[in-house]
Amino acid sequence: MSLRVICRNAKHLQTIRRSTMQLQTRLCSTPRIKDFGIHIPDPRSLGLNTPGMGEKLFEDPEPTLTGYEESTEEWKFVERILSKEVVPPPPEHASYPTPSGWVPPKESSKSLPYYVRRTRFHQLPIYLETLNGGNRKMTLVKKVNGDVWAFEAELRKYLEEKTGSRIYTQVDEVCCKLRVRGIHLEDIAKFVLDKGF
């Protein structure tokens, strides 16, 4: 039997099978017809000279997989690129301040009624805020824990002695913030470092 005849018979068989399945679902979905016991013929009993219902004409080729090996030797190069999940503690230095000007917090600062925590990158939480389209400058100190009002009073007194003018501040006790009118980044950083934070 030629391949053309096999393909033609397979198409006819698929058509008969599809229509028989549709008829079977229609008949079985109606309970009254189902009760009469109507017999639906098997497509194989139609007498088509086919190689068989659902048989494969050709075998699937064997998969040709290439071999591989697991190596952890190069993982150290990947780890250098990956970001750290936790910021590591700062390394110990022979002398402080470091060339960048960084100083670690001191143990003596824990005796004060307030405390200024460092950021997660071990830096001082002192920022410059620009408001009203750049016309108003405010120095913001975050992470002030403990008695915020005592910190504000000592900082205001320090800045007034340093600048010789009146200093206006705003305390946000709930968010642990302190705003100072004007640009006082270096003076506030020196005050915080002198306190040991």
In a domain, 142, yes or no: yes
- CATH number for the domain that contains residue 139: 3.30.780.10
**Residue 152 class from Cβ within 10 Å (0-12 exposed, 13-18 middle, 19+ buried)?**
buried
- Asked whether residue 94 is assigned to any structural domain, the reply reads no
The structural domain count of the chain equals: 2
pLDDT at res. 60:
78
Question: How far apart, in Å, are the Cα atoms of 74 and each of 70, 82, 100?
Answer: 10, 14, 34
Q: Determine the Cα–Cα distance for residues 57 and 12; give it in Å rounded to an integer.
A: 16
Describe the crossing of helices 185-194 and 148-163 by its angle, rounded to 10 degrees: 120
What is the C-alpha to C-alpha distance for residues 185 and 6, in angstroms, rounded to an integer?
88
Q: What is the pLDDT of residue 106?
A: 87
What pLDDT shows up at residue 34?
Answer: 47
Residues 42 and 114 in one domain: no
Q: Give the whole-angstrom CA distance, residue 165 versus residue 159.
A: 8
Residue 189 lies in a domain: yes
Alpha helices (runs of H) in the chain, residue ranges in sequence order:
3-29, 31-35, 75-81, 148-163, 185-194
Task: With respect to residue 97, please indicate whether it lies within any of the assigned structural domains.
Answer: no
pLDDT of residue 20: 61
Q: Does 104 fall in a domain?
A: no
Q: Give a yes or no: residue 128 inside a domain.
A: yes
**Domain assignment present for 9:** yes
Query: Which structural domain, as residue segments, surrounds residue 152?
Result: 110-194
Q: Is residue 18 part of a domain?
A: yes
Give pLDDT tens digits along the chain (197 positions): 555 555 555 565 566 666 666 655 554 554 444 455 555 555 555 555 555 556 666 777 787 877 777 888 888 888 888 887 777 888 888 888 888 888 888 888 888 999 999 998 899 999 999 998 889 999 999 999 999 999 999 999 999 999 999 999 999 999 999 999 999 999 999 999 999 88
pLDDT at 66: 79
